[in-house]
Amino acid sequence: MFSKSVLRTAMFIRSGRLEASAGIQKAVLSLPYLDNQRHSSSPAALTGTNKLKTMDELHGPSFMTSLYWLFGKGYFQITHQMQIEHSKIYGPLWKSKYGPMVIVNVATAELIEQVLRQEGRHPIRTDMPHWRGYRELRNLAYGPLTGMGAEWQRIRSILNPRMLKPKHVSTYTGSLNQVVTDFIKKVEWLRDTKGDGVIVHDLAGELYKFAFEGISVVLFETRMGCLNENVPEETKKFIDSVGEMFRLSPIIVLFPKSLWPYLPFWKHFISMWDYLFKVAQDLVEKKMAEIKQKVSQGEAVEGEYLTHLLVSEQMSVTEVLGSITELLLAGVDTTSNTISWALYHLARQPDIQNRLYKEVISVCPGDKTPTSDDIARMPLLKAVVKETLRLYPVVPGNARITVDNEIVVGDYIFPKNTLFHLCHYAVSYDEKNFPQPHTFRPERWLRGGAEKQQQHPFGSVPFGFGIRACLGKRVAELEMYLALSRLMKRFEVLPDPSGSTVKPITRTLMVPATPINLQFLDRKDQ
């Protein structure tokens, strides 16, 4: 099950034919599966050299060539496609230069596994100077997205249990199901009042409000009214601010920090962050007032995520605010876009949709709403989500900086602080990993299938891997499973009659380039 090339490299180091530093030896030799494997040659040996190459020897586009690809050839918004094109030109490992920044691109499942398995104790995605810069400017705390080092680890250890432990996550099912009920009503209303009785326009936009309501109910135990007929102004502004912040982020980071204050959009970027923190601050303050009131009346203080964080006093209020803001930010268009893409494909493949419908009604007949136990008995539903995330990895290219030690990747040795760009998108479209890679085929994920057994475990890792992996994975999955299963039960989903297709673009995250419009017909038995 583990990558052959990691093993080959590791075996090679072990055989003593390689001059690697003690740090690398330790990192690679600590791989748990090393002793079980027998491979005779390393990638270096395969190329006929016993010496690892250095980063200087790695080829790839110059700064000017990269700029030409981004802005001349128009790949700026489709950098995920650029991964595929560049891997065809340069092979699975290449170096891109962006001014003073050098990025090592990694584009096979084996090599991605190698990078991730050699991570140190405190992995870093990127140093996010612009996001961290805002927090420094306003004297705010870093959250799980922007935190680093031991401080990040401390925050994660406090945030993790109630986000990732199945016994805690399953307690969110009831409130999430209420949000799904309201979303179904909203779909009916939108279709009947604005879509000639059949169409819901801009489904991703509507699901964004659903996801915002869903994550708010988990974090704050509060309904935000995002699914009301008239969405509160504050929510609309929050949505716009997240969008603007994500749009400006990749542009700002291209400039040196000293120039940021002079950029025409820097003030706008700051004001967007101000608004995001303000919304979170209002919610935290509201919750604190509720807790104080309960305490003063001698009542027991019980509640979900935010209450737990505030009451347990493991974090200061400023730290709670920093983390909650980042959870809100990370937890909305990730899930909403995935649900949108899943419905987009199910609408185009009625056979899969019908099988899914049958699976759902056999586990949850009549009016029964699904529980986490029910979801466990819906393998096709899970496969649909996995396949959607393979085709549209929300984070199509993830970054990693190796802070703790030098690492060996393929035939190369990289120094500390190398910035890797893990090309997940290119890998999930590699037909060696996924035959017919452009086709939506959930069955490739079903257990027992021949294809499943051949898949490389790092072929599609949409939530990341290791201790820095997604904090909201379990909540996101629960939310997506509940929404999709109940939508399937209630509606037959068909494509937009205009026949328009939707492509993804990358705006920090991968999002639909144009609105997704779908028809929602009542199931005959409803």
- Please state the residue numbers annotated as binding site: 470
Query: Applying CB under 6 A, does 114 fall inside the site for ligand HEM?
Result: no
| Shorter beta-carbon distance to ligand HEM: residue 333 or 496 | 333
| Shorter beta-carbon distance to ligand HEM: residue 215 or 413 | 215
**Residue 400 C-beta: closest distance to ligand HEM, Å:** 7
Query: Applying CB under 6 A, does 31 fall inside the site for ligand HEM?
Result: no
Strand pairing category for 53-54 and 412-414: parallel
Query: Applying CB under 6 A, does 224 fall inside the site for ligand HEM?
Result: no
Structure tokens at 107: 């584009």
Strand pairing category for 101-106 and 93-98: antiparallel
CA quadruple 177, 182, 183, 187: dihedral sign: positive
**Alpha helix (H) ranges present in 254-316?**
266-296, 305-312
**Residue 32 C-beta: closest distance to ligand HEM, Å:** 19
**Residue 51 C-beta: closest distance to ligand HEM, Å:** 31
CB 108 within 8 A of CB 420: no
| Shorter beta-carbon distance to ligand HEM: residue 12 or 420 | 420
**Residue 65 C-beta: closest distance to ligand HEM, Å:** 27
Query: Applying CB under 6 A, does 394 fall inside the site for ligand HEM?
Result: yes
Query: Applying CB under 6 A, does 459 fall inside the site for ligand HEM?
Result: no
User: Which H/E stretch holds residue 45?
Assistant: helix 43-46
Q: Which one of 17-25, 51-59, 65-73, 323-331 is the stretch in contact with ligand HEM (CB under 6 A)?
A: 323-331
**Residue 220 C-beta: closest distance to ligand HEM, Å:** 12
Query: Applying CB under 6 A, does 338 fall inside the site for ligand HEM?
Result: yes
Query: Applying CB under 6 A, does 125 fall inside the site for ligand HEM?
Result: yes
Query: Applying CB under 6 A, does 462 fall inside the site for ligand HEM?
Result: yes
CB 504 within 8 A of CB 511: yes
Among 80, 86, 135, 156, the residue binding ligand HEM under the rule CB under 6 A is 156
**What whole-number distance in Å separates Cα of residue 140 and Cα of residue 246?**
19
Query: Applying CB under 6 A, does 169 fall inside the site for ligand HEM?
Result: no
| Shorter beta-carbon distance to ligand HEM: residue 337 or 517 | 337
DSSP for residue 369: P
Q: Which one of 133-141, 328-336, 409-417, 430-438 is the stretch in contact with ligand HEM (CB under 6 A)?
A: 328-336
**What whole-number distance in Å separates Cα of residue 19 and Cα of residue 229?**
66
Q: Which one of 89-97, 102-110, 199-207, 461-469 is the stretch in contact with ligand HEM (CB under 6 A)?
A: 461-469
| Shorter beta-carbon distance to ligand HEM: residue 125 or 191 | 125
Q: How many residues bind ligand HEM (CB under 6 A)?
A: 27
**Residue 321, Cβ neighbours under 10 Å: how many?**
20
- Residue 107, amino acid: A
CB 98 within 8 A of CB 254: yes
Q: Which one of 42-50, 332-340, 365-373, 450-458 is the stretch in contact with ligand HEM (CB under 6 A)?
A: 332-340
| Shorter beta-carbon distance to ligand HEM: residue 105 or 338 | 338
CB 338 within 8 A of CB 389: yes
**Alpha helix (H) ranges present in 395-495?**
424-428, 450-454, 473-490
Among 61, 133, 322, 472, the residue binding ligand HEM under the rule CB under 6 A is 472
Query: Applying CB under 6 A, does 471 fall inside the site for ligand HEM?
Result: yes
3-state helix, strand, coil in the chain (%, to 5): 55, 10, 35
Query: Applying CB under 6 A, does 395 fall inside the site for ligand HEM?
Result: yes
| Shorter beta-carbon distance to ligand HEM: residue 133 or 472 | 472
Query: Applying CB under 6 A, does 398 fall inside the site for ligand HEM?
Result: yes
- Closest Cα partner for 285 from 253, 317, 312, 255? 317
**What whole-number distance in Å separates Cα of residue 436 and Cα of residue 486?**
29
| Shorter beta-carbon distance to ligand HEM: residue 398 or 402 | 398
- Closest Cα partner for 1 from 461, 452, 400? 452
Q: Which one of 22-30, 170-178, 285-293, 469-477 is the stretch in contact with ligand HEM (CB under 6 A)?
A: 469-477
Query: Applying CB under 6 A, does 310 fall inside the site for ligand HEM?
Result: no
* Nearby residues of 489 by Cβ (< 8 Å), 6 or more positions away: 357, 360, 361, 364, 523
Query: Applying CB under 6 A, does 468 fall inside the site for ligand HEM?
Result: yes
- Closest Cα partner for 77 from 446, 387, 514, 419? 514
Query: Applying CB under 6 A, does 331 fall inside the site for ligand HEM?
Result: yes
**Alpha helix (H) ranges present in 366-506?**
372-376, 379-391, 424-428, 450-454, 473-490
Structure tokens at 61: 């586009």
Among 144, 410, 504, 512, the residue binding ligand HEM under the rule CB under 6 A is 144
By the criterion CB under 6 A, which residues form the site for ligand HEM?
125, 144-145, 156, 215, 326-327, 330-331, 334-335, 338, 389, 394-395, 398, 462-465, 468-472, 475-476
